[in-house]
Amino acid sequence: MDYFFSSTFLKVAAAAIPIFIVLDFLWLAVVGRGLYFRQLSYLAEVADGRIVFNLPVGLLVQVIIGLGLTVFISLGLLIDQSLGTALGIGAFAGFVLYCTYDLTNLSYIKDYPLTITVIDIAWGTIQGFLAGLYVFGLTRLFGS
């Protein structure tokens, strides 16, 4: 447990969280922007043809997910310091996190799109995999 209060972990988390946020921003605002608008604008506040995000809450969620992935991956690396472990745990953690969100929405939001559910879970799995890559690298960089 001491590791999570170490300067190494704090540096890894401080670098990993912004990386996660930038990647998710690129996904939501650039790559998937049109798709998410077409599929989910009926649930959102829309202004000037764009979904309006609650930025403080959105950033808080991003920080929590980024920190969670960093903790999960770091736990795995404490047991086995291999890239494969980091990638596998990252992908699985991303899958679980995004399944929790998307399948919950699918279970109770009327007409929640199955397409978005599947695409978002795939993206979460990729995000977790990528987190495994950069958390592994950052751990080696700052742990030296």
Please tell me the predicted confidence (pLDDT) of residue 49.
Answer: 84
The rounded distance, in Å, linking the Cα atoms of 85 and 87 is 6
Q: Is 50 helix (H, G, I), strand (E, B) or coil?
A: strand
Residue 79, both tokens: 């047991």
pTM for the structure as a whole: 0.93
pLDDT of residue 133 exceeding 70: yes
CB atoms within 10 A of CB 66: 22
pLDDT, residue 52, reads 86
How much is the pLDDT for 109? 95
Phi-psi region of 49 (alpha: psi -120 to 50; beta: other; left: phi over 0): left
User: What is the model's pLDDT at position 144?
Assistant: 63
* Cα 13 to Cα 108: distance, rounded to the nearest angstrom: 34
Q: How is the chain split into domains, by residue range? A: 2-143
